[in-house]
Chains A and B, each alone.
Chain A
Amino acid sequence: MALDELYQEIILEHYKKPKNMGLLENADIKVEGKNPFCGDEIELAIKLKDDIIENVTFDGSGCAISQASASLMTEKIKGKSIVEVKKLISTFKKMVKGEDDSQVDRDNLEELLALQGVSEFPSRIKCALLAWNTLLLGLEEKLNKKDGKK
């Protein structure tokens, strides 16, 4: 597989000029993720309005794939409900892992399709998933807290 299919233009743009960089104040969810394999790090700050992700920002360091994936993710999930986002995480993971997804509507992924090529580079799948697994962790911690309060 050609390298250009991994490092697509849109990925390079998000790596060079990441969107939503820096951490929100007064975030409802703050969560950190690390990739022990390579030392890549990410921190997410999410502002919720009811069950909608009103705003999300990130900070971190790492390779082009991990940072572009984080940037693209923040763009994609803004304005979506937690339920929608959890579904999106699952779809995205399947795409990146190259799993069978005949039941999955990839069209919804739009710009995230640029990361499709990662599935051909098994050692880089963890890079692409770092932001997403961190997001999932943050959402689940939040939901668990909520359940605990009830």
Chain B
Amino acid sequence: MEPGTKENTSFDADKIREHFPVFFQPENEGLIYLDSAATSQRPREVLTACKNFYEKINANTHRGAYKIAERATAAFEAAREKTAKFVGAGRTEEIIFVRNTTEAINFVAYGWARKFIGTEDEILVTEMEHHSNLIPWQITAQKTGARLRFFKMNENGILPLDQLDSLLSRKTKLVAVTHVSNVLGTVNPVKEIIRAAHNVGAKVVVDGAQSVPHLPVNVVDLDADFFAFSGHKMLAPMGIGVLYGKTALLEEMEPIYYGGEMIKDVDYYQSTWNDLPWKFEAGTQNIGGAVGLSAAIDFINSIGIDNIRKHDHLLTEYALNELKKIKDLVILGSTKNRGPAISFTLGNIHAHDLATFLDQKNIAVRSGHHCAKLVMKKFNVAATARASFYLYNTKSEIDALVHALNEAKGYFSKWR
């Protein structure tokens, strides 16, 4: 069965689910998976593509002058080309394969920021960043002597654009911003932020971990300097991720890892570096993972990213409406224009106790600080529960969540 065509507007999540083996394992019977913001599930097509790679063309890339090595190389480079097209990169070699978003951002911190940022400079980070787009900049600031500044959000979890100009100056060398918040679901006006940053000569690194799986993204249209995302949140295997960078920036950026494959020429005391993108891909890469990412993009394209966005949006609107009806339930952040992640607290029930209760009903939600302690501080909570949705989730699963939350209130009411 095909998952539908781009033109097909009648989105059928139940049919899409049939492609995901995890939902049909006897030990997972009744699983309601509401944690795709942490990692998505993977369709059979992706798993088969990985299996086929290892069974049929497993060989190292760019090395062997024999047929299966050539086929492995072709598959790896085709995955890069497909990924470049998917996010609208101008050139295929601007796509660097890495492990995940965290590694991609660290590449920028070590390879670019350490080289070009100094004591007189400033790094602007938003208050809603995941730790993966915060800690690398804290360390960069500490090591370079640059000043770390914060673009604070308002009480609705929105970045006030009118305050941006006062935070940017000629001293600003880098702005780090998440495209979509993993806690609040806020979709940030990244294009406007990038334009303002460019006006003062700053470069911008965008954390796209929560956007690429859910929204059409075009890095050239955004004019992003660096853009990072993970395969595992968009139906691909764990351990494959992407750093996009503009050619000129990648060329001036230092390699992170030194070793095989990243060299052009080697002598006793010095060596020169390979062309993009291989300069950044030292050692054997996650070729099977890249092939899986390619299959994931095919799967997403077969449904249409716009259709996925609409489906996510409908589910999120529905969930927000239903959740609002629960007394004592507090939703963090804005209820408008947001991605499919909803963080909430319920009365005085600790998020962990709540998550354990929901797990007893086979409902998987995330609980804790979601690697965004600054967001927790801002909203003055220690932890929240978070439900997040993707193309395989249904309204009836949200109904089950709401029902279970009402039950949880009853169960924990004896604690007062």
Nearest CB of chain B from residue A6's CB, rounded to whole Å: 7
Kindly state whether residue B382 has any CB partner on chain A within 8 Å. Answer: yes
Q: Which positions in A face B, CB cutoff 8 Å?
A: 3, 6-7, 12, 15-16, 37-41, 61-65, 121, 123-124, 127
Near A by CB (< 8 A), chain B positions 337-382 give: 350-353, 355-357, 360, 367-369, 373, 376, 382
Cross-chain contact B353 with A39 (CB below 8 angstroms): no
* Contact residue among A3, A6, A15, A38 (Cβ-Cβ distance under 8 Å from B351): A38
Cross-chain contact B411 with A38 (CB below 8 angstroms): no
* Contact residue among A12, A15, A62, A124 (Cβ-Cβ distance under 8 Å from B356): A124
Contacts of B368 in A (CB 8 A): 37-39
* Contact residue among B352, B382, B414 (Cβ-Cβ distance under 8 Å from A127): B352
Contacts of B356 in A (CB 8 A): 3, 6, 121, 123-124
Cross-chain contact B416 with A65 (CB below 8 angstroms): no
CA distance A16 to B349 in the complex (A): 11
Kindly state whether residue B268 has any CB partner on chain A within 8 Å. Answer: no
Nearest CB of chain B from residue A34's CB, rounded to whole Å: 11
Cross-chain contact B414 with A64 (CB below 8 angstroms): no
Kindly state whether residue B269 has any CB partner on chain A within 8 Å. Answer: no
Find the residue from B356, B360, B376, B416 having the highest chain A CB count within 10 A: B356
Nearest CB of chain B from residue A91's CB, rounded to whole Å: 24
Task: For the A-B complex with A3-B357, A15-B415 known, give 16 more contacts whose Cβ atoms are closer than 8 Å.
Answer: A3-B356, A3-B360, A7-B353, A16-B415, A37-B368, A38-B368, A38-B383, A39-B368, A39-B376, A61-B382, A63-B352, A63-B353, A64-B350, A64-B353, A123-B355, A124-B356
Contacts of A124 in B (CB 8 A): 352, 356
* Contact residue among B350, B383, B411 (Cβ-Cβ distance under 8 Å from A3): B411
Nearest CB of chain A from residue B300's CB, rounded to whole Å: 31
Cross-chain contact A62 with B411 (CB below 8 angstroms): no
Nearest CB of chain B from residue A85's CB, rounded to whole Å: 27
List 3 tightest A-B contacts by C-beta distance, closest first: A63-B350, A63-B352, A38-B368
CA distance A63 to B412 in the complex (A): 12
Instruction: Please name the residue on chain B nearest to A15 by beta carbon.
Output: B415
CA distance A12 to B414 in the complex (A): 9
